[in-house]
Each structure stands twice: as C-alpha cells, then as structure tokens.
Amino acid sequence: MKKIPLREKVKLTSGQSNWHFFDSEHVLGRSMHVADGPHGIRVYKKQTDGGNFLDKEHLEPATLFPCAAAMAATWNKTLIETVGRTIGKECRHHQVDVVLGPGINLKRSPLGGRNFEYYSEDPYLTGAIGQAFVRGVQKEGVGACIKHYALNEQETMRRFVDVTIDERTMHEMYLYPFYHIIKKENPWMVMSSYNKVNGDYASESRYLLQDVLRKQWGYDGVVVSDWGAVQDKVKAIKNGMNIEMPGPSALDDAVKTALEEGTLREAQLDASLKPLFALHEKVKRVHRLQTVDMDAHHTAARDVAREAIVLLENDGILPVKDTAQKVGIIGAFAKEPRINGGGSATVRPYVQEVPYLALSQVFSQNMYAAGYHESDTSETLMREAIKVARASDLVFFFTGTTAAIETEGKDREHINLPQGHLAVFQAICDVNPNIIVILNNGSALDLRTIKARSRAVLEAWFLGGAAGEALSEIITGKTSPSGRLQETFPLDLRHTPHYGTFPPLMHVDYQQDLIMNGYRYYDTHDYPVLYPFGYGLSYADIAYKDIVFTVDQTDEQAVVKVDFILKNHSDIDAYETVQLYIGTHIETLLKPVRELKGFEKVMVLAQETVRVRLTLPLEAFETYDTTQHGFVVYNGTYTLHLARHSRDIVAMKTIEITDQIHYAPRITFDYPMQFLKRYFPKWFTYIETHFRPLHWHETEEPIWRMLDRYQRHKQIPDDVMDALKQNMKKDFES
C-alpha cells in the first residue's frame, strides 16, 4: 500500500469502465471483471459505449436460466446450486471474476417491478435458495455478489426513497437473507442499494456497512455500490464502501480535496482498499476455462424450468394423454415467449426454446392464433382466436405480463392481466370450455377471472431459454408438476398488506412488517387468499404416514427431528415438497402465527414409499433481540407445523424450550408496574418486600411514579434510591 501514489489509490476506489475495476500499473495482474446477473451472465463481444449495454446484438450467448422467482419455486437447493456452478463455469470461460447476483431482497408487494429477480416473500426461503446459488458459483472459483443491501423492495424512486425501519424488523425480516448467506457462504462481494435507510444512503450508512456488516457479522469481503448509487463518496469511503461503480467516477475530485483538507485521512482510504487487494489475490488464482459444454448447461436450465412450473388449477384435464386430438394454441407468447424481466437481468440466450414448437412436436393437429399483440387485441386477432378455439378439442391459452408492465426500473400499477389478453380469453371460453392457461409472469397476479373459466392453470413464470420442452413434458404427463409458490397470490390487490401505501415516493415505513408481509400477514389474520404460500398441485397422490416428532434440547444441530413416511399411491414418479413451520407463543412477543423454518424436496417413485427426516437446529427458534443486538432463543412454547403449504397442515406438535434465555421486552421506568411483575419479578418482589404490597390499581402506574411515591412515603435517601434504580436499569438493558 505504501508503494502506491495517493492519486492512484483514489483511482482504485472507482471502476475503470462499466464492468471493470482495479486496473493500475501499480497492481500486478489484470483488472477485475464483473457481470450481471442472477439468471445467466451478460458479457460483451466488445466494449460498449453510452446507454446501449443492454442491446442483445452486443452480447455473447449464454445460458439463460428461468428467473429468480422461478428458481425459488423449485424449492430445490441442490438444483439451484447446480445453477450457480453452471453460471460460474461460464464466468470462468469469459474471464468474469464476480457475478452480480443473486438478488435477495424480499417481495414486499406483488406490485414490485423487480419481483421476478427476487426469490420470495419469505426470508428463510430466500436465504436458503440464495445460499445454494452462492455456494455453487463460488465452488467454481468465481465470486458471487449478493444484492441489494438493503431494504430495496421497490423500484419507484429507488434512488431517493428513505426506508424507516426498527432494528428487529430489519434484522429478522429484510437483513436475514444477507446475514444467513454471509454466515454460511461468505460471498466475495456485497452490493449496496440505491435507497436510504433511516436517513442515510445505503452506500454511505455507517450502521449498515460498519456496525452490522463488518462488526456484527464479521464480513471481510468487498462492498460495491449499485451502479450510480454513491452520492457522497467521501462519506461512503469513511463508512465502509470499497468500490464505486461504474467508472470512471465524477466524484474522485471530491476525494482528493478531502485528502488535501484532512477531512479524509489516507489511513481511511487504505482501509477501504484492503478488501479489494484481498479479492484481487483470489481472482488471480482462478484459471480460465477454455471450453464449456453449453448444451449440457441448457439441459441444466431445462431441469430448473421443469421443477419451477406450478400447477395452480386442474379439474383432471391434465395431463393430456390423447395427443391425437385437435388443439388450439392461442396467444402470442406461445411463439414469442416472455422469457425474462429485462434490465440488469438481460441475457442473450444460447438456446431459445419456443413453446409453440415444443407443443407442435407432440400435438400434430394444431392451429395457432396470436390473439393479441403486447397488451392489446383487435377485431381481426379476436376473430382468428375464436375461429381456432371453435375448431379445437382443447385450447392452450398463453398469457402473462408484458415488458411494459413488469420490468426493472418501475413498479407495477396493478396485478391484472392485460385487458386485451382477458378479452381474448373470455371470447374463446364462450366457444370452447376446454381451456388450459399458461402464465408467464414474475410475481403474483389477480387470477379470479382465469380461475373461474379455465380447466387448468399452469404458472410458468419467465422460463428463460428453456421455455418449451419442460412445459410440454408437464402438459403431457411425462413429468408431474412439482413447483410450489414462493409468494402468496391474493384474491385482490386491495387485500394486500401495503395496499394504498405501495409504492411511496420519498418515504416508506417498514416498522410493522414482521406480520405485514406475505403469508405472515394473511395467515396471522386468517384472511382468504387465492393461492397460499408454498402451494402447488401434483399429478400424484402422496400421503404422509407414521409422523413422529422427537425433541432433544441438548443437540443444537437437531433440537427437533420429524420422521415420517411418504407413500405415493399413483403410477407417476413425483416430488413432494415437505415444509416445516414454527409458531412462537410468548406473551407480548410479536410474531406471525407461523414461519417457514425448514423444507425438503423429496422424490417419491410411483407406488413406492420414502422415509424422510427433517431436522430443526436451535437457530430455527431464534428471534432478534434488540438489547443484545443479535439472534437469541427465548424460553417458551413453540408449535411445529409439518405442512404441504402454509395452510395445509399435516401434523402439529407443541414443545417447550426451557434452557435458553428468558424473554423480556426492552422497558424503561415509564412502563407500568405490570411489566415489572411479568418480566422482572425479582424487582417487583423486592419492592413489595422492602416497601409495601401494591394495590391492584397501582400495577397500572409507571414504575418511576411508584418508586417516587415509595421514596416520599418511606423517606428513602436519594443515594439509596439512585442505587436501586441503577441496578434495575442494568437488568432492563441486559
């Protein structure tokens, strides 16, 4: 560090281009190269200038996996680790050192424009799937960059909005996936978000970058800004941001001025650069892959697509065994599939399957009608669709969100399907009752109209390059659908917890979100939904048998074991996604009625049985404690729910945890004496013993008032009362 001129150190705090940084004649080895994204890497044939870096004509072909929402819908950690390894191999082939993904923010509202790029509404599922992705990437010697740290759940005014949030909600919900992945996998980079958090931009937040990331979690990797997220670079460097992207930066002069004036010390600059040198040492040891098997990689993408598709409705029409019947394929998405959500997730697919072609290989007697163009239809398009539907025995109707409705950079205005699509759907239903709907979207939709008039509904998300064969396999029954929803589908947008307040323009309040997000909200309040979290149908009939819960509080790795048998009574191999939820019952501790804390995707062969064991470690029972600024396990009553989804509980078991710590809210002397009696009984007993017993109405009064009354009535010296208060205060804050 001492050998590098100060001006060169300043240069190293910024990128040298859109995708390269750490390029200096004073540093041995090439510059470091990063690339989007979470669904497949975006690399360029040659350097691009200006704003055209998303034009596919400039891109090298790469494997385009299903979107992150679809990956999470697989509920298959092993499969998503394979995704990470596959993307890691392609990174090495193109000499990319760090992939900018995964995105592990939560789906706070179905209106979130970037929901397709985020895994789930649930922090545990998000953390588990994100961990698998990061593990896979980094097993290939390539870094993963988890993003966007933190509280970046909306696109509207994302560069300006200020998120107000309390410490517990922040850590227990929105920071949990970051905490989990950093603890388990230590990703090479963390990307800070655009927005403010409690008044400070995330790229400049001492609390986020120093107090939490470095000190509380012990993270030693690199913090990179989101592209253009730094506003005050001097503040960002002081508070823990390591590299500003993209570059060259217009803010470097401010850094030089601060160094000259002494408001930024060279030692602080050096400290900011150290993680970059450590990262550079890692990437120098990784060798480029000369060749990669792109066909095998596409097969991996198809595996994800196959397991991501969720069967939402089926009256028995699926699977379609009679492939000789006349089928109508209606909807432009059948020939021009909606494969991705755009923005930073843009990838040029190496292979692009087309659903129409995949279905045509199975159903030789098929007719096609576009039905709509983008969101709209016309009399001509409508007539063609009706003609095809009337002449068909069975109709596949493709619909979903358009690029104008759902993309990075803006939030959705509604969760409806395009009016033109719905008009076509209603028209073809009038002439043919046998409608199977295939959806392409990245987040929840209002499907009441579709549900009422279709015989089956398949949620196919944005399936990327593998948009055809997997869908065909499920339609014909070669594969049983095994996807499960990673978010709740509400009956109506007006039922969502943040209806009318999402998205705000300049300020958003997250402080009630422990029970105001996704299934936590709907299940805790027992509100009806269209499709619950974790839901998905199958072609198989799989039963749960011989369920046994075993509790061992001495084993931190398996406090609870749940053993059971899955029996497949059907003639088709099928996955069952077993889910384990915990309900916490501790008086005055705010918790949702149940929270996902474990899951496993299990293959059960036709007419076979499988023995399954789920285990819950001690950390599954944790709550974030604001007095200790960390996760703890409270003594109390917990109910375990073995389930098919959040509202289909197979078995329950209530247990007591007794050898951890006693729960007490963080109180002050302004709280009523009732709280002292409930949570700090030794002090309540002390007061009654040394002064006098309280009358019932006195338990409603503030602690300070009762102590003041005792002092006056008993003429207690100030120093004695002050000592008592100090000892009580220590317990309150311990």
Residues 201-224 pLDDT 10s: 999 999 999 999 999 999 999 999
Cβ atoms of 239 and 210 closer than 8 Å: yes
Helices 123-139, 176-185: crossing angle, 10 deg rounding: 30
Q: Which residues pair with 599 in a beta bridge?
A: 579
Q: Catalytic residues, which ones?
A: 226
Residue 696 or 461, more confident = 461
User: Tokens standing for 454?
Assistant: 């279709």
Instruction: Label residue 52 by pLDDT band (50, 70, 90).
Output: low
Residue 655 has pLDDT above 70, yes or no: yes
Q: How far is CA 305 from CA 35, 76, 80, 145, 606, in A?
A: 23, 12, 11, 24, 22
CA 402, chain centre distance (Å): 22
What is the CATH number assigned to the segment(s) 295-525? 3.40.50.1700
Which of left, alpha, beta for 540 (phi over 0: left; psi -120 to 50: alpha)? Answer: beta
Which CATH code for domain 542-657? 2.60.40.10
- Answer yes or no: is pLDDT of 230 > 90: yes
C-alpha distance across the termini of the chain, in Å:
42
Judged against a pLDDT cut of 90, whether residue 381 lies above it is answered with yes
Q: What is the mean pLDDT of residues 332-351?
A: 92
Sheet arrangement for strand 560-568 = 542-551, 560-568, 609-616
Q: Does domain 7-284 have CATH number 3.30.1300.10?
A: no
Question: For a pLDDT cut of 90, what percent of the chain falls above it?
Answer: 89
Decide the pairing of beta strands 143-149 and 98-99. parallel
Among 403, 407, 483, 490, smallest CA distance to 438 is for 483
The model carries a pTM of 0.94
pLDDT at position 54: 65
Query: Which of 408, 404, 351 lies closest to 375, judged by CA?
Result: 404
pLDDT value at position 47? 65
Q: Which amino acid is at 694?
A: L
Where is pLDDT greater, at 329 or 504? 329
Say if CB 443 and CB 110 are below 8 A apart: yes
Question: What pLDDT is stored for residue 51 in this prediction?
Answer: 54
How many whole angstroms separate alpha carbon 27 and alpha carbon 21?
12
Strand intervals (E) in 588-683: 595-604, 609-616, 622-625, 630-633, 636-645, 648-657
Q: Assess whether pLDDT exceeds 70 at residue 49.
A: no
Q: What does the pLDDT read at residue 697? A: 87
Residues 223 and 240: beta-carbon distance below 8 Å: yes
Average per-residue pLDDT for the chain: 95
